[in-house]
Each structure stands twice: as C-alpha cells, then as structure tokens.
Structure 1
C-alpha cells in the first residue's frame, strides 16, 4: 500500500465549501430569527488539544521511522499506529480547512452587526476558532509529511540502478 499526499486543491475546496456553508448558516439565522452562529469555547479547546495530539503522534512516528533499526528504542509505534497517525493527520488537515471556512463565513456575515453584543461575542468566538482551525490544518499538513517513510535501498532507489545486476535469477546463481 502506498499512501499519497493530500493535494493542495482539496484543502482549498474544503475551505470554500466550509465558507459557503458558514455564510448560508448566518443568512438563515438572520432570516429565520434562529441564530446558530458562534462556537462554544469548548470546541476551540478540543480542536487545539486534538491538533497537539496529532502533532505529538506524528513526531513520534517520524522519529521512529528515521532512526536506525538497530538503535530504535522500544516504543508503542508500530505500522498500525503509524498508519492511524497518517489518517488522523490527513483528516485533521481537511477538517481544519473546512472548519476554518465555516467560521470565516460566519464572521463575514456577522461583522456588519459587530456593535450588537451577541454578534460581537459570536465574531470573537468564530475568530478564535478559525485561527485554531487554520493551525490544525497546518499541523495536519506537517503531520502528513512527518509520517512519510524515508527512501529504502530497494530496486526503485536511484543508487541501485547504477549498480549492474544480473537480469534473471539463473544468472545470479551461476556467479
């Protein structure tokens, strides 16, 4: 299995979709009188903690993958944990982009009513959450990079192509 890096356009698409959804929610709230804008402070705290957990896991996977196998300390990092960390980093990056757009859309639609205490608080909550979501997106992208395996000395390696090798196994056994 070969994991591919998340393309840049997927982050942009997630942010744009989140922005449109946030704008739609704010417009719906103004028309219906049922305001759903803002973000509880618990959400911002949980997003920050989740980003730190993914960063710590990705750093551990990177350290484990880049040390000499003979000198590796005993740790809980194994291939399953490394794959789960990679998936978490990918998910955190895309979710961070989408949520940053979501909160950004709410800010754009609510900044005109900034004088009202409710909108003032909602804009500040959304701004803090949006900054944390952008940080989570960056942590996700960095975490995805940290989970890459170093190149091995296999047949695909450019160094190995320079060395002449027998074409088939019968020739290898004759030598």
Structure 2
C-alpha cells in the first residue's frame, strides 16, 4: 500500500466548508434567537493535547524509520502504529482546517456585536479555538511528512541514481 500526501486543495475546501457552516450557524442563531456560537474552553484544550500527541507520535515514527535497522531500539513503533499515526496526522490536518473555518465563520458573523458581553466572550472563545485548529492543521501536515518512509536502496534511491550516472559518465570518458 502506498499512501499519498493530502493535496493542498483539500485543506482549502475544508476551510471553505467550515467557514460556510460557521456563517450558517451564526446566521441561524441571529434569526431564531437560539444562539449556538462559541466554544467551551475544554474544546481548545483537548484539541491542543490531541495535536501534541499526534506530533509526538509522528516524531517517534520518523526517528524509527530513519534509523539504521541494525541500530533501532525496541520501541512501540511497529508498522501498524506507524500507519495509525499517519492516518491520525491526515485526519488532524483536515479536521483542523474544517474547524478553523467553522470558528472563523462564527467570528465573522459575530464581530458586529462585539460590544455585547455574550458575543465578546464567544468571539474570544472562537478565536482561541481557531488558532488551536490552525496549529492542529499545521501539525497534521508536518506529521504526515514525518511519517514518510525514506527511499529504499532500490533503483529509485537518489544515491543509487547518482552512482549510476557517475559510472556511466566514467565509462563514456574511458571510451
């Protein structure tokens, strides 16, 4: 199985959909009188902890994958954990993008009411959560990169290609 990197446009679509959903929720709250905007502080804390956990796991996978097989310490990293870490990093990146848009949409619709205490608190809560979600998106992108396997020692390895080029150049020079 070959995992591919998440394309940049998927993050853009996630932010745009989250933004539209956040704007829709805030608009519905204004028209119906049922306000659902804001985010409890525990959400920002849990999202930050989740981002840190994924980053730590991705760093361990990266360290394990780039260490010489003869010198690898026995750790919890096995292929299944590495794949789960990759999937977590992909999911964290996309969810962080969508939630950043979600909270950003709520901020956009509520900024006109900033002087009201409820909206003031909701905007601050959404801003903190949006910043944490952007950080999670970045951690997801970096974690996905960290979970890449180094090229194997086959013909596609850059070192092997460079050696083959040098050898063919040397043979051409001798002739």
Whether TM-score is above 0.5 comes out as yes
Give the C-alpha shift of residue 156 in structure 1. Answer: 2.8
SS at match of 1:155: coil
Quote the Cα distance in structure 1 between the aligned partners of 2:143 and 2:118.
37
Match of 1:59 in 2: 59
Report the RMSD for the aligned CA atoms in angstroms. Answer: 1.2
Matches within 5 A, 1:9-158: 9-158=9-158
Q: TM-score if structure 2 supplies the norm length? A: 0.91
Unaligned runs of 5+ in 2: 168-175
Quote the Cα distance in structure 2 between the aligned partners of 1:41 and 1:123.
12
SS at match of 1:74: coil
Give the C-alpha shift of residue 154 in structure 1. Answer: 1.4
Give the C-alpha shift of residue 159 in structure 1. Answer: 4.5
SS at match of 2:142: helix
Q: Mean alpha-carbon deviation: is it higher for 31-40 or for 151-160?
A: 151-160
Q: TM-score if structure 1 supplies the norm length? A: 0.91
Count of equivalent residues: 164
Give the C-alpha shift of residue 49 in structure 1. Answer: 0.3
Post-superposition Cα deviations, 1:56-76, rounded to whole Å, max 9, x if no partner, equal 000000000000001111100
Post-superposition Cα deviations, 1:81-130, rounded to whole Å, max 9, x if no partner, equal 00000000000000000000000000000000000000000000000000
